[in-house]
Structure 1
Amino acid sequence: MKSPSATLLAEVRTFRQNYPEVRYVDLIALDIPGHFYGKRYPVDMLEKVAAGSPLKLPQNAVLLGAQGGLFKIGDYCFNDGDPDANRRLVPGTLKPVSWESQPLGQMLITSDGTEAPIEFEPREVLTKVLERLHHKGIHPVVAFELEFYLFDKKLDDGLPQFARDPLSDDADDQPNLHIERLSRFSDVLDDMAQTAKAQGIDITVITAEIGPGQFEINFCHCDDGLRAADWAALFCRSTRGVALKHGYRASFMAKPYLQFPGSGMHVHVSLYDGAGNNVLAAHQQQPLRHAVAGCLALLPHCMPIFSPNHNAFRRLGGTVNAATRASWGFEDRDACVRIPESDPRNLRIEHRLASADANPYLVLAAILAGLEHGLETRQEPIAPLNEDRSSGTDFPVDMLDAVRAMQHQSVVRDKLGAEFVDVYCENKRQDHLAFQQEISAREYRWFL
């Protein structure tokens, strides 16, 4: 078996042979709000990193706010000297970038697996949850589904404009589920799909959604939770880049139009034991009920993860298939936790609450923590919506209330890490307060 450095070195050298025109590679990682940060490395220096040379970036880069600023969070950012922290290359993620004007490569980096991982790095949070489940003999299989909107590349006084229909040059302002929309926008959608595949992302179905210019792309089920979340993160980056190349903006914003459906991140999760048996299907599906109960119990305390910004809360209780309470049901898209019809081998939950702009590592970590909690406590869930349309428990619908519900919840702190919870909640609180520090035209219109 090759050593990690030998495997990485072979990957870099193979990449250089296949793409000799590439001189630089973007080394990227996801911060708390779900944006990529990193460095652009000369490809020859990348060989040295692959061979074992240190790769360091500021630890506090993970703490950037939604607009890139730093907030004082405990002793971080302003009282810690802004230290560097080690990162490592993620094997198998070195791929070409086709949407830029010059030949580039990109590769994921992370602190997980280093001697001193950053406790609040999203990928490290998910790594700890997965390792704990694996030690219990539980192996998740995961599939993400992401909705997004296409807009015209140019904004109108800062406001989005409907995507232009390439056949008629009219605005695509009619919400529909018609297959013809896939044909009309086939050039950009095909490029998105092919680019995703070139990034190693295993995508499947493309759907025209209800909103004008809204689409959904599904990923294959993956038996590596980290890789599944990597796919979701990388897909957002490549999709935005491809859209710009074609004269559009692609956005995963949760609720760009009040009158049309928001964009969600749906996550399918099944659990298997070491022999490949579906844990949720055992004993007449009793573990499934326990897992659902655990998800619903932690859901109100993980809302800052599922709805990570002010706009994301606008999506809740919206026009179509957006839950207003923590609920579950069989084949019911109004539920937060849906149980799709399937055979026992493929029995799974579909968690539908997260917005499309949520951090995929943290969303999956929170979902798995809920499943784990349910299997441990073995509680019965509330009635499914199929039996009682009013069934459900309330969850916070405001960021400050959501942060208060999350920060001191003992199970969430235990499952996701107390240090992470404190840092994340303060990051979201400060982001929300910073967002409020601007007087809108409407405010003048109402109160001047």
Structure 2
Amino acid sequence: MKSPSATLLAEVRTFRQNHPDVRYVDLIALDIPGHFYGKRYPVEMLEKVAAGSPLKLPQNAVLLGAQGGLFKIGDYCFNDGDPDANRRLVPGTLKPVSWESQPLGQMLITSDGTAAPIEFEPREVLTKVLERLQHKGIHPVVAFELEFYLFDKKLDNGLPQFSRDPLSGDADDQPNLHIERLSRFSEVLDDMAQTAQEQGIDITVITAEIGPGQFEINFGHCDDGLRAADWAALFCRSTRGVALKHGYRASFMAKPYLQFPGSGMHVHVSLYDAAGNNLLAAHQQQPLRHAVAGCLELLPHCMPIFAPNHNALRRLGGTVNAATRASWGFEDRDACVRIPESDPRNLRIEHRLASADANPYLVLAAILMGLEHGLEAKREPITSLNEDRNSGTDFPVEMLDAVRAMQQQPVVRDKLGAEFVDVYCENKRQDHLAFQQEIHAREYRWFL
């Protein structure tokens, strides 16, 4: 077997051979709010990193706020000297970037698997959850679904405009599910799908959603949770770039229009043992009920992950298929946790609460934590929506309430890591305060 460095070196050399015009490669990772940060490396320097040279970036780059600023979080950022931390290249993620004007490559980097992983790095948080499950003989299979909107490339006084129908040239301002919209926007959608496939992402179904200019992309089921989350993160990056190339803006913003449906991140998860048996289907599906109970119990304490900003909180309970309480049901899209109809082999949950702009690594970590907790506690879930349309438990819909609920929950602190929980919650608290520091024009209209 090849050593990790030999495998990476072969990957870089093959890339250089296949793409001789590429001079630079973006080395990228996802921060806490779900934005990519990193460095642009000359490709010949990347070969040295692949061969074993150190790759270091500031540790505190992970802590950036939603607008890119640094917050004082404990001793981080301002009292720690802003130290570097080692990163490593993620094998198999070196791909060409086709949406930029000049030839370019990109590759994921991470601190997980290094000598001193960053405890609050999203990919490291998910890695720890997956490793713990593996030690217990639990092997998740995961599939993400992402909704997004296409806007016109030009903003109107900072506000988004409806995307233009390529056929008529008029604004695509009518909400519908018509498949003809896939044909009318086929040029940009096909490019998005092809570009994603070039990035190694398994794209399956494309759907025209209810909102004007709104679409959904489904990914294939993947037995590697890290790779499934990588796909979701990389898809957001490539889709924004492809949209701009075609004269649109692609946005995963949770609630761009109050009068139209928001955009969600739906995550399908099934659990298997080492022999390939579906753990949720055993004993007349009793483990499924326990897993659902665990998800619902911890859901109110993970709201800063599922709805990570003020706009994401606007999406909840607003229009179609957006849950207002922690609930579950069979074939019920109003539920936070939906059980799709399937055979025992493919029995799974569909977690529907997260917004499309949530951090996919953290969303998956929180869902798996809930499933794990449920299997351990072995409690019965609340009544399903199929039996009682009013069933459900409340969850916080104000950011400071959500942060307090997350920071004080002992199971969440134990299973996601106390250091991560404290850092993440303070990041969200500081983002909330920064958001409040700007006077909106509405305040002048109301109170001047």
Same fold (TM over 0.5): yes
Partner Cα separation in structure 1 for residue 414 and residue 440 of structure 2:
40
The residue matched to 2:120 in structure 1 has which SS?
Answer: coil
The residue matched to 2:396 in structure 1 has which SS?
Answer: coil
Report Cα offsets for 1:58-83 as digits up to 9, x if no partner: 00000000000000000000000000
Which blocks of at least 5 consecutive residues in structure 1 are unaligned?
none
The residue matched to 1:318 in structure 2 has which SS?
Answer: coil
Partner Cα separation in structure 2 for residue 440 and residue 80 of structure 1:
35
**Displacement of 1:179 after TM fit?**
0.4
Report Cα offsets for 1:360-402 as digits up to 9, x if no partner: 0000000000000000000000000000000000000010000
**Displacement of 1:408 after TM fit?**
1.2
Answering whether residue 345 of structure 2 is matched by residue 345 of structure 1, we say: yes
Partner Cα separation in structure 1 for residue 414 and residue 286 of structure 2:
25
Partner Cα separation in structure 2 for residue 240 and residue 263 of structure 1:
15
Aligned positions of 1:290-439 closer than 5 A: 290-439=290-439
Partner Cα separation in structure 2 for residue 171 and residue 390 of structure 1:
39
Which blocks of at least 5 consecutive residues in structure 2 are unaligned?
none
Answering whether residue 149 of structure 2 is matched by residue 142 of structure 1, we say: no
**Displacement of 1:310 after TM fit?**
0.5
Aligned positions of 1:23-422 closer than 5 A: 23-422=23-422
Report Cα offsets for 1:316-375 as digits up to 9, x if no partner: 001100000000000000000000000000000000000000000000000000000000
The residue matched to 2:81 in structure 1 has which SS?
Answer: coil
Report Cα offsets for 1:106-152 as digits up to 9, x if no partner: 00000000000000000000000000000000000000000000000
The residue matched to 1:154 in structure 2 has which SS?
Answer: coil
**Displacement of 1:425 after TM fit?**
0.1
Partner Cα separation in structure 2 for residue 62 and residue 441 of structure 1:
32
Partner Cα separation in structure 2 for residue 297 and residue 18 of structure 1:
50
Partner Cα separation in structure 2 for residue 185 and residue 398 of structure 1:
37
Partner Cα separation in structure 2 for residue 167 and residue 267 of structure 1:
34
**Displacement of 1:4 after TM fit?**
0.1
Report Cα offsets for 1:173-221 as digits up to 9, x if no partner: 0000000000000000000000000000001000000000000000000
Partner Cα separation in structure 1 for residue 402 and residue 43 of structure 2:
44
The residue matched to 2:25 in structure 1 has which SS?
Answer: strand
The residue matched to 2:284 in structure 1 has which SS?
Answer: helix
**Displacement of 1:159 after TM fit?**
0.4
How big is the alpha-carbon RMSD for the aligned residues of Structure 1 and Structure 2? 0.3
Partner Cα separation in structure 2 for residue 295 and residue 136 of structure 1:
18
Report Cα offsets for 1:148-170 as digits up to 9, x if no partner: 00000000000000000011100
Partner Cα separation in structure 1 for residue 317 and residue 119 of structure 2:
33
Partner Cα separation in structure 1 for residue 319 and residue 366 of structure 2:
26
**Displacement of 1:293 after TM fit?**
0.1
The residue matched to 1:311 in structure 2 has which SS?
Answer: helix
Partner Cα separation in structure 1 for residue 194 and residue 427 of structure 2:
36
The residue matched to 1:297 in structure 2 has which SS?
Answer: helix
Partner Cα separation in structure 1 for residue 376 and residue 319 of structure 2:
36
The residue matched to 1:384 in structure 2 has which SS?
Answer: coil
- The list of structure 1 runs, each at least 4 consecutive aligned residues, that deviate by more than 6 angstroms after superposition, is none
Report Cα offsets for 1:23-71 as digits up to 9, x if no partner: 0000000000000000000000000000000000000000000000000
Partner Cα separation in structure 2 for residue 447 and residue 372 of structure 1:
50
The residue matched to 2:387 in structure 1 has which SS?
Answer: coil
**Displacement of 1:279 after TM fit?**
0.2
Partner Cα separation in structure 1 for residue 89 and residue 138 of structure 2:
27
Partner Cα separation in structure 1 for residue 66 and residue 243 of structure 2:
22
The residue matched to 1:46 in structure 2 has which SS?
Answer: helix
**Displacement of 1:18 after TM fit?**
0.3
The residue matched to 1:236 in structure 2 has which SS?
Answer: helix
**Displacement of 1:282 after TM fit?**
0.2
What's the TM-score once normalised by structure 2's chain length? 1.00
**Displacement of 1:247 after TM fit?**
0.2
Q: Percent identity?
A: 94
The residue matched to 2:133 in structure 1 has which SS?
Answer: helix
**Displacement of 1:290 after TM fit?**
0.2
**Displacement of 1:224 after TM fit?**
0.0
